[in-house]
Chains A and B, each alone.
Chain A
Amino acid sequence: MNAAGLAAWIRHAAHLVSADAEHLTRLDAAVGDGDHGLNLDRGFGAAAEAVGALSDDATPGKVVLTAGRAIVSKTGGASGPLYGTALRRAGKALGDRTEVDAAALGAALAAALEGVQELGKAAEGDKTMVDALIPAVSAYEGALAGGADLASCVRAAADGAAKGAEATVPLRARKGRASYLGERSEGHMDPGAASTALILRALADVTVEG
């Protein structure tokens, strides 16, 4: 996968987030402050724009880092620092390489998870985006260890994230506004886990096409 492939991912993610913004906001309205879709739409829109303004010789790492910076400054809610940190850490992990293989992308995904956990202090089961990211990283690493190619690894990660997001429904929130609701936060999918699954599905879509 090259820089153009990763730029296509950011653009496609912005498109999916925009199309799904109302749904994400509805999920957030049930347990959070009801702005997740709107915030993320603004953040990923800014990311797609920033990535589009890069010169043709930008490395894959630079593309992802640039997207992360735009998301930090333009998103607004907690998802700005969290997704921004995820992308910036992933971009740093990609380094100066011009071609990203399956192992490098896996290391970037793991770095994103580490950044999110360091910043948000969320553990597995707290009903956050971490509950989609952890199964995504383990599914990716499992596929990689089994000798799968990059596209299959990404597909495994996207499926893992989707299952992880589904599994947040019965959980009780222990982070963010939803944690003030105690047992009333149960029975709703976590909006951050849902958007994480969406963004990884965007990566799987462009990887298959590429």
Chain B
Amino acid sequence: MVGIVLISHSPALAEGAAELARAMGVGKAVVEPAGGDVDGGLGTSIELVEHAVARADAGDGVLLLADLGSSVLTARTFIEDAEDAGDVAVLLADAPLVEGAVAAASMAATGAGLAAVRDAAEAARDHRKLR
């Protein structure tokens, strides 16, 4: 199954979004938070992303979602390194964090592949709230 990693500046935001996404992934989807810096404060850490990807990786690839700014840059830097190392397939979804995580977990729980899970996350961008 495709794993999912949520990267946020805030540990609480990453963990809360992961909790919600796991519930929508009917307890099957593996959603791991990578929130804050290594000291537990607000920030981003490529080491926390590395650890979360290792936990989420079951051999079918890992989808990353990021909140903003340095989370996105850290995710992209991690992917560049992962591509150089070639040990795990990782993609970053161009998607809002919460909506994207819920959509990705729902799709991942069906056993779909990495590209399909990424597409589901990105399609969440079009789910409007007032129309």
Contact = CB atoms under 8 A, between A and B. Distances in A.
Contacts of A97: none
Contacts of B43: 76-77
A72 B44 contact: no
Contact of B44 (A77, A82, A84): A77
A84 B69 CA distance: 15
A84 B77 contact: yes
Given A72-B46, A76-B44, A77-B43, A176 B74 contact: no
A72 B38 CA distance: 13
A176 B46 CA distance: 19
A119 B77 contact: yes
A77 B73 CA distance: 9
A81 B72 CA distance: 10
Interface in B17-66: 37, 43-47
B69 A80 contact: no
Nearest to B43: A76
B14 to A, nearest CB: 15
Given A72-B46, A73-B46, A73-B47, A78 B77 contact: no
Contacts of A79: 70
Interface residues of A, number: 15
Interface size class of B (residues with CB under 8 A): 10 to 19
Most chain B Cβ neighbours within 10 Å, of A78, A119, A120, A176 = A78
A85 B77 contact: yes
A137 to B, nearest CB: 21
Nearest to A115: B80
Contacts of A119: 73, 76-77, 80
B99 to A, nearest CB: 20
A184 interface: no
Contacts of B80: 85, 119
A73 B69 CA distance: 16
B70 A80 contact: yes
A8 B43 CA distance: 29
A46 to B, nearest CB: 12
Most chain B Cβ neighbours within 10 Å, of A76, A120, A176 = A76
A28 to B, nearest CB: 12
Contacts of B69: 77-78, 176-177
Nearest to B41: A76
Contacts of B45: 73, 76
Contacts of B77: 72, 81, 84-85, 119
Given A73-B46, A81-B70, 9 more contacts: A72-B77, A73-B47, A76-B45, A77-B44, A77-B70, A78-B69, A80-B70, A120-B73, A176-B69
Interface of A: 72-73, 76-82, 84-85, 119-120, 176-177
8 contacts: A72-B77, A80-B44, A80-B70, A82-B73, A84-B77, A85-B77, A119-B80, A176-B69
